[in-house]
Amino acid sequence: MDFHIFQTPEEASHSLARGIASLIKRCEVAGKRPVIGLATGRTPLALYRELVRMHREEGLSFRNVITFNLDEYHGLGREHPKSYWRFMHENLFDHLDILPENIHVPRGDIEPEDTVRECQEYEAAIADAGGIDLQILGIGRTGHIGFNEPGSGAHTRTRLVELDPVTRADAVADFGDLSAVPEMALTVGCGTILEARSIALMAWGASKATVVEKAFLGPVSDDVPASFLQDHPSVSLYLDEPAAELLAAGCEEKHHLSKD
């Protein structure tokens, strides 16, 4: 696992954006279409701003890029102001030359009897695109990746899940009121995420320090689904100093113990 620690989320995001630009250019030279897994939440906003800037000012093209978002709130239609579909369009897709048919976000407004089919089709679309080259992730305070809450196994696939009370409480900032926060979501599984050829996880701020330490220094367990990333061959962490503080201290301690 590679750890990249930066002074600010902007510096970290710019570094990851340069990595994405070089993936896009490498694929172009190889005549392939890059497949990128995308996340929502506040964490990737600076990354998306930088990608938009690179598109506008440096001509970085997304015409050949295929994207798959991690998740969507259950019960929200695409045009709902808080849907992840809308979030992604407002913060990224509407400002790029990406083709609409190359954008994938799980549908939140499906009938219960269509859920299994929707989830299977989402998995099939990822497979048809050749799998994910780079999966972008944030991390929830419960240790979730996508909406894989504690208890989600390493082999889980795209499905309908119940949101943890901590996650719902964190979403009040977006929805204004707990009763407005959906209770369920569609999310790709931990197994789906772990099949990505490379993974970049971002975390900012002291409020993420405990979960970052648990996920990357603690035991690999479904109590903290992000800990499954420890077993993936190509994971890069992009952290700011406050988010990395406990992890860095824990690494130092482990290092001393192994020397004694």
Footprint on this chain of ligand GLP (rule: CB under 6 A): 39-43, 70-71, 138-140, 146-147, 167
Of 123 and 164, CB closest to ligand GLP: 164
Q: Minimum Å distance from CB 177 to ligand GLP?
A: 17
Q: Is residue 183 a contact partner of residue 175, using CB atoms and an 8 Å limit?
A: no
Of 71 and 213, CB closest to ligand GLP: 71
The full 3-state SS of the chain, as one line of letters, equals CEEEEECCHHHHHHHHHHHHHHHHHHHHHHCCCCEEEECCCCCCHHHHHHHHHHHHHHCCCCCCCEEEECEEECCCCCCCCCCHHHHHHHHCHHHCCCCHHHEECCCCCCCHHHHHHHHHHHHHHHHHCCCCCEEEECCCCCCCECCECCCCCCCCCCEEEECCHHHHHHHHHHHCCHHHCCCEEEECCHHHHHCCCEEEEEECCHHHHHHHHHHHHCCCCCCCHHHHHHHCCCEEEEEEHHHHHHHHHHHHHHHHHHHC
Of 138 and 225, CB closest to ligand GLP: 138
Of 64 and 167, CB closest to ligand GLP: 167
Of 97 and 223, CB closest to ligand GLP: 223
Of 52 and 226, CB closest to ligand GLP: 226
Q: Minimum Å distance from CB 28 to ligand GLP?
A: 28
Q: Minimum Å distance from CB 83 to ligand GLP?
A: 12
Q: Minimum Å distance from CB 240 to ligand GLP?
A: 13
Q: Minimum Å distance from CB 45 to ligand GLP?
A: 8
Q: Minimum Å distance from CB 41 to ligand GLP?
A: 3
